Amino acid sequence: MPGRPSASRRTVLRGAALAPAAALAPAAALGLAACSPTGGTTAPATPTAPVELGADSEVAQGGARLYRDHNVVVSRSGSGQLRAYSSICTHARCPINKLDGTTLICPCHGSEFDATTGQVVREPATEPLNELPVRTENGRIVVEPGA
C-alpha cells in the first residue's frame, strides 16, 4: 500500500536511528576510562623501588630512551649527565608511549614534553614531568622512585 511504510520498513528505520548511539557508547566509555585521572587500580605508575632499566650505553649523548614498561624516560646531556623523568603525562595521567628524538608525545590529548628537561613544549599539559633520581651501577642505568 503506497504512503504507509510496512512494519518491517519501520523496524529497519528505527534500528538505523538507534545504531549510531549504541555504537558510540562503548567508545565514549573507553575514552573516559583512558583519560580519567582517578582511574582507580588501573592507573599507571612509575617505579616504587629502585629499578634497573638497561645498559648505560643504551642512552646516547644528546639523546633519550623511553622505557615504556617502567613509565620512565632517560636522557643524556652532551656532557654525559643522565636525567630521568616519569613518563606519566601530567595532564590526565596517560602513559606516554612515543618518543620522537628527545620529544615525548602523549597519545591522549597531544601534550609534548622535552625529555631532557621534563618541561612542557605543547599544551594542554602545563606541569613538567616528575624528575626521578637516576644513576649508573656496574654499567647499568638504575632509576629510583621520585619524591
Binding site for ligand FES (CB under 6 A): 35, 89, 91-92, 94, 106, 108-111, 124-125
Query: What's the closest the beta carbon of residue 18 comes to ligand FES, in angstroms?
Result: 32
Q: Tell me whether residue 115 is exposed, middle or buried, using C-beta atoms within 10 angstroms of its C-beta: 0 to 12, 13 to 18, 19 or more.
A: buried
Query: What's the closest the beta carbon of residue 96 comes to ligand FES, in angstroms?
Result: 7
Minimum CB distance to ligand FES smaller for 18 or for 33: 33
Query: What's the closest the beta carbon of residue 104 comes to ligand FES, in angstroms?
Result: 10
Closest CA to 146 of 81, 52, 49: 49
Minimum CB distance to ligand FES smaller for 124 or for 146: 124
CA torsion, points 40, 46, 52, 55, in degrees to nearest 10?
Answer: 120
Contact residues for 78 (Cβ-Cβ < 8 A; gap 6+): 61, 62
Neighbours of 73 (CB within 10 A): 27
Minimum CB distance to ligand FES smaller for 29 or for 60: 29
Query: What's the closest the beta carbon of residue 124 comes to ligand FES, in angstroms?
Result: 6
Minimum CB distance to ligand FES smaller for 72 or for 92: 92
